[in-house]
Amino acid sequence: MMPAMDHRPAVVLVPSRHAEWTRRYAEMSRRIRELVPGAAVEHIGSTAVPGLPAKDVVDLLVGVEADTVVSTARVLEGHGFDLEGERDHHCWLAWPCRRERRYVIHVVEHGGRSWDRRVAFRDLLRADNAARQAYLRVKQDAARVARDWDDYTQAKTSVVAELLAAIDH
Protein backbone atom coordinates (compact mmCIF):
# COMPACT_ATOMS: atom_id res chain seq x y z
CA MET A 1 0.00 0.00 0.00
CA MET A 2 1.34 3.42 -0.96
CA PRO A 3 1.52 6.16 1.69
CA ALA A 4 -1.07 8.92 1.36
CA MET A 5 0.14 12.03 -0.40
CA ASP A 6 0.27 15.21 1.65
CA HIS A 7 -1.77 17.76 -0.32
CA ARG A 8 -1.48 20.63 2.12
CA PRO A 9 -0.19 23.79 0.46
CA ALA A 10 3.44 24.64 1.16
CA VAL A 11 2.48 28.22 2.06
CA VAL A 12 -0.72 29.15 3.86
CA LEU A 13 -1.89 32.76 4.10
CA VAL A 14 -4.15 33.63 7.01
CA PRO A 15 -6.35 36.71 7.49
CA SER A 16 -4.57 39.60 9.14
CA ARG A 17 -3.87 39.20 12.85
CA HIS A 18 -2.14 42.55 13.05
CA ALA A 19 -2.58 43.12 16.79
CA GLU A 20 -1.26 39.64 17.62
CA TRP A 21 1.62 39.96 15.14
CA THR A 22 2.56 43.37 16.56
CA ARG A 23 2.62 41.89 20.07
CA ARG A 24 4.75 38.96 18.91
CA TYR A 25 7.13 41.38 17.17
CA ALA A 26 7.50 43.42 20.37
CA GLU A 27 8.29 40.30 22.41
CA MET A 28 10.93 39.01 19.98
CA SER A 29 12.35 42.50 19.45
CA ARG A 30 13.00 42.78 23.20
CA ARG A 31 14.71 39.41 23.20
CA ILE A 32 16.94 40.28 20.24
CA ARG A 33 17.89 43.65 21.76
CA GLU A 34 18.94 41.85 24.95
CA LEU A 35 21.12 39.44 22.95
CA VAL A 36 22.46 42.09 20.54
CA PRO A 37 22.68 45.41 22.40
CA GLY A 38 22.64 48.39 20.07
CA ALA A 39 20.98 46.57 17.17
CA ALA A 40 18.21 48.35 15.31
CA VAL A 41 15.12 46.14 15.01
CA GLU A 42 12.13 46.65 12.70
CA HIS A 43 8.93 44.70 12.05
CA ILE A 44 8.83 43.96 8.31
CA GLY A 45 6.93 41.76 5.92
CA SER A 46 3.20 41.37 5.53
CA THR A 47 2.59 40.91 9.26
CA ALA A 48 3.77 44.52 9.70
CA VAL A 49 1.02 45.81 7.38
CA PRO A 50 -2.44 46.22 8.97
CA GLY A 51 -5.13 44.28 7.14
CA LEU A 52 -2.80 42.31 4.87
CA PRO A 53 -3.17 38.50 4.88
CA ALA A 54 0.15 36.76 5.56
CA LYS A 55 1.87 33.59 6.60
CA ASP A 56 1.54 33.34 10.38
CA VAL A 57 5.25 34.10 10.68
CA VAL A 58 6.56 37.42 11.98
CA ASP A 59 9.55 38.88 10.11
CA LEU A 60 12.07 41.02 11.94
CA LEU A 61 14.88 43.04 10.42
CA VAL A 62 17.96 43.37 12.62
CA GLY A 63 20.40 46.08 11.62
CA VAL A 64 24.02 46.02 12.73
CA GLU A 65 27.40 47.23 11.44
CA ALA A 66 28.30 45.56 8.12
CA ASP A 67 31.29 43.74 9.57
CA THR A 68 29.19 42.21 12.37
CA VAL A 69 26.32 40.70 10.33
CA VAL A 70 27.69 37.14 10.46
CA SER A 71 28.88 37.33 14.07
CA THR A 72 25.47 38.69 15.10
CA ALA A 73 23.76 35.76 13.38
CA ARG A 74 26.12 33.39 15.21
CA VAL A 75 25.21 35.00 18.55
CA LEU A 76 21.53 34.40 17.82
CA GLU A 77 22.29 30.85 16.67
CA GLY A 78 24.09 30.28 19.96
CA HIS A 79 20.87 31.23 21.75
CA GLY A 80 18.73 28.66 19.95
CA PHE A 81 17.82 30.41 16.70
CA ASP A 82 18.03 28.21 13.58
CA LEU A 83 20.51 29.76 11.12
CA GLU A 84 18.91 29.01 7.77
CA GLY A 85 21.09 30.94 5.38
CA GLU A 86 23.96 33.29 4.88
CA ARG A 87 24.85 35.58 1.99
CA ASP A 88 27.13 38.54 1.70
CA HIS A 89 25.88 40.98 4.39
CA HIS A 90 22.62 39.05 4.99
CA CYS A 91 21.90 36.15 7.31
CA TRP A 92 18.47 34.78 8.14
CA LEU A 93 17.33 32.67 11.04
CA ALA A 94 14.12 30.97 12.13
CA TRP A 95 12.59 30.66 15.55
CA PRO A 96 12.05 28.13 17.00
CA CYS A 97 13.24 26.15 13.94
CA ARG A 98 12.81 26.14 10.18
CA ARG A 99 10.15 23.39 10.26
CA GLU A 100 8.03 25.27 12.80
CA ARG A 101 8.77 28.90 11.98
CA ARG A 102 6.99 31.48 14.08
CA TYR A 103 9.59 34.14 13.30
CA VAL A 104 12.13 34.83 10.59
CA ILE A 105 14.95 37.15 11.58
CA HIS A 106 16.95 38.91 8.84
CA VAL A 107 20.32 40.28 9.96
CA VAL A 108 21.66 42.96 7.61
CA GLU A 109 23.77 46.11 7.60
CA HIS A 110 21.86 48.90 9.33
CA GLY A 111 21.29 51.64 6.77
CA GLY A 112 22.57 49.47 3.93
CA ARG A 113 20.69 48.74 0.71
CA SER A 114 18.92 45.64 2.04
CA TRP A 115 17.82 47.46 5.20
CA ASP A 116 16.58 50.50 3.28
CA ARG A 117 14.68 48.50 0.65
CA ARG A 118 12.94 46.23 3.15
CA VAL A 119 11.82 49.16 5.31
CA ALA A 120 10.77 51.16 2.23
CA PHE A 121 8.72 48.23 0.91
CA ARG A 122 6.94 47.82 4.25
CA ASP A 123 6.23 51.55 4.39
CA LEU A 124 4.93 51.52 0.80
CA LEU A 125 2.51 48.69 1.57
CA ARG A 126 1.31 50.50 4.68
CA ALA A 127 0.69 53.76 2.81
CA ASP A 128 -0.44 52.76 -0.70
CA ASN A 129 -3.62 50.70 -1.10
CA ALA A 130 -3.01 50.04 -4.82
CA ALA A 131 0.50 48.69 -4.09
CA ARG A 132 -0.89 46.62 -1.21
CA GLN A 133 -3.61 45.10 -3.43
CA ALA A 134 -1.16 44.33 -6.26
CA TYR A 135 1.16 42.63 -3.79
CA LEU A 136 -1.72 40.69 -2.22
CA ARG A 137 -2.78 39.28 -5.61
CA VAL A 138 0.76 38.06 -6.28
CA LYS A 139 1.04 36.61 -2.75
CA GLN A 140 -2.21 34.69 -3.17
CA ASP A 141 -1.21 33.34 -6.59
CA ALA A 142 2.24 32.38 -5.28
CA ALA A 143 0.78 30.59 -2.24
CA ARG A 144 -1.48 28.51 -4.50
CA VAL A 145 1.36 27.18 -6.67
CA ALA A 146 4.47 27.25 -4.48
CA ARG A 147 6.12 23.93 -3.69
CA ASP A 148 8.00 25.48 -0.77
CA TRP A 149 8.91 28.81 0.84
CA ASP A 150 11.69 29.46 -1.68
CA ASP A 151 9.22 29.07 -4.58
CA TYR A 152 6.82 31.42 -2.81
CA THR A 153 9.50 34.06 -2.30
CA GLN A 154 10.76 33.77 -5.89
CA ALA A 155 7.21 34.11 -7.26
CA LYS A 156 6.90 37.50 -5.53
CA THR A 157 10.29 38.88 -6.56
CA SER A 158 9.23 40.66 -9.76
CA VAL A 159 6.30 42.54 -8.22
CA VAL A 160 8.44 43.58 -5.25
CA ALA A 161 11.07 44.90 -7.69
CA GLU A 162 8.42 46.75 -9.73
CA LEU A 163 6.87 48.37 -6.67
CA LEU A 164 10.27 49.39 -5.29
CA ALA A 165 11.32 50.77 -8.69
CA ALA A 166 8.25 52.99 -8.68
CA ILE A 167 9.28 54.59 -5.37
CA ASP A 168 12.93 54.91 -6.46
CA HIS A 169 11.91 57.40 -9.18
74: domain CATH number is 3.30.460.10
Could you tell me if residue 135 is inside a domain? yes
Q: How does pLDDT run across 93-112, given as a tens digit for each residue? A: 999 999 999 999 999 999 99
pLDDT, residue 169, reads 62
Full residue range of the structural domain in which residue 83 is found: 18-168
Number of domains in the chain: 1
Instruction: For the chain, list residues with pLDDT below 50.
Output: 1-7
pLDDT, residue 8, reads 53
Q: Give the global pTM.
A: 0.91
pLDDT, residue 88, reads 82
pLDDT, residue 5, reads 45
Can you say whether the dihedral through the CA atoms of 119, 66, 158, 97 is positive or negative? negative
